[in-house]
Amino acid sequence: MKFLTFFILLTITTTASAYVNFIGHGYTSCLNCHYNPAGGGPLNDYGRVVGATAISSGALYPKDWNEEKVAYTSGFLFRKPKQNWLRTQINYRGFQLVQSPGSEANQTERWINMQLDGRVILKFGENDKFVSVLNYGYAPLPPGPKIQGVKNQTEWRSREHYLGYRFTPKFGVYAGLMDKVFGLRTIEHIAYSRSIPQMAQNDQVHGLKGHYLGEKWEMFGQYFVGNLAQDENLRMKGATGMIERTIFDIHRIGTSLTRSENTFLTLMSYSAHAKFNLKEGSALLGEIGQTSKDSKNGNTEEVSRWGLLQTYLRPVRGLYVLTNIEYKKDDVNMEDYTVRWGPGIQYFPIQRFEFRFDIYNERNFSPDSSTKDRWSYLLQTHIWL
C-alpha cells in the first residue's frame, strides 16, 4: 500500500476543471481538454497546458518565463511526464458557505470540503485511443439522516471509473460509472438545471456511452442501469442523449433528452441550450428545460421548469466576472416561481489554484405573497497539485 501511495504521488500530474464557459476561448467540445468527451473529471495533457497558459493569470510567473516554459511546467513537479501511458492527479475543492449574511438571527457559516479526489488514468494508443479512468475520493454525505436504500454510505467512494475506446477520432465508446450526459454541465451543482433533472455531482450512473464528434455536430447517447451502489429498486435506469451543433463557426446550440425510472418514480427531462463565444474568454451560456416526475405509488405527476443564464466576462487573463441567473418553477400549473440571481468572480492567480466568490440572491414571485429575499455567499477554493 505504501508503495502504491508513493508510486501515485510520484506520477501525479496537474488537474483542473475545464468549464463550459471556456467556449469563450474557442473550445466548443469538452474532448479537447478532458478524457471524458462529456467533460468533467481528469484533464488530458492538452487541457493541463490550456489551464496553465490561456486560463490562469501570468502575473505571478518570473518575467523571463514565456508561454512555452509555463506550458512545460503544467505537469507534476513542474516537469513533463516521462511516459505516455500513466497520469495521476489530485484535486481538492472546498468552500465557505455563508447564509443570510448580516442577519444576527439567521446567519450561518460553515466550511465544506466538497471534493478530494485521487485520479489514475491509463492511456494507450495513438491520440489516447484507449483510456481507463479511476476517480476515487471524498465527497460529503448530504446533511441529515442517511438515505434509505443506499448501501455503504460513506464519504469515500469511487466518483467515476470507466473504460473508453475511440474507434476513430470521431467515434468512441465508454463504459463504467460516469456522469449522465445532459445539458450544460455547469460547475454549480446546486443549479436548478442540474438538481431538478438529477444531474448533480453525485448522480453518476453505471452505463454505456457513445460519442460522435464531427465537423459541426457532436452527439452523445448513454444507456444506464443506475448506480450499482444503490439498492436495485432505487436505481434510476434509463437513457439520455444530447446533440450539439456548431453555428457561425464559434457558437454552439444543443438539445438534450433523458428518461429514467425506478420502482417508485419515472423522471423525464428535456432541455435546449446555447453557448456563445464572445471572444477573449467572454461567453454567454443559456439553457431552458422541463422535468416531469411521475410518482408511481401515488399516481401524481409534477412538471417543473427551469432556466439558466450564465454570463462571463474576462477583464484580464485569469479573472472572470460572471453573473448567474436561474429560474425555477416547481409546478408549471402554479403561478409561483423563483429567480436566483448573483454576480461572482472566478480567479486563477496561477496554474493549480482557483478562487471563486459567488453571491446568491433568491427571490420568490407569487401573486399571493411578497417575501424577503434569501441571501448567501460562497468562497470557494480549488487546488490541483
Residue 104 as a binder of another protein (CB under 8 A): the answer is no
Residues ≥6 apart with Cβ < 8 Å to 259:
238, 239, 240, 266, 267, 268, 269
| Cβ distance to another protein smaller for residue 127 or 369 | 369
| Cβ distance to another protein smaller for residue 269 or 346 | 346
Q: How many of the chain's residues bind another protein (CB under 8 A)?
A: 31
Radius of gyration of the chain (CA): 21
Any idea what DSSP says for residue 100? S
Backbone angles phi, psi at 243, to 5 degrees: -125, 135
Which part of the chain contacts another protein (CB under 8 A), choosing from 14-22, 160-168, 231-239, 272-280? 272-280
Considering only CA atoms, which of 96, 149, 91 is closest in space to residue 356? 96
Residue 369 as a binder of another protein (CB under 8 A): the answer is yes
Of 86, 98, 257, 313, the one binding another protein (CB under 8 A) is: 313
Which part of the chain contacts another protein (CB under 8 A), choosing from 63-71, 191-199, 276-284, 348-356? 276-284
133: which 3 cell numbers?
479512468
Please name the residue that has the C-alpha cell 446533440. Answer: 243
Of 164, 172, 281, 318, the one binding another protein (CB under 8 A) is: 281
Residue 298 as a binder of another protein (CB under 8 A): the answer is no
Any idea what DSSP says for residue 53? I
Residue 219 as a binder of another protein (CB under 8 A): the answer is no
Q: In the range 337-366, which residues lie near another protein by CB under 8 A?
A: 339, 341-343, 361, 363, 365-366
Give the nearest distance from C-beta 32 to another protein in angstroms: 21
| Cβ distance to another protein smaller for residue 108 or 366 | 366
d(CA 76, CA 92): 15
Burial (Cβ within 10 Å: 0-12, 13-18, ≥19) of residue 144: exposed
Of 23, 90, 134, 284, the one binding another protein (CB under 8 A) is: 284
Give the nearest distance from C-beta 64 to another protein in angstroms: 21
Identify whether the C-beta of residue 173 lies closer than 8 Å to the C-beta of residue 184. no
Question: C-alpha distances in angstroms, 374 versus 108, 242, 366?
Answer: 13, 34, 15
The binding site for another protein (CB under 8 A) comprises 276, 278-282, 284, 309, 311, 313-315, 321, 323, 325, 339, 341-343, 361, 363, 365-373, 375
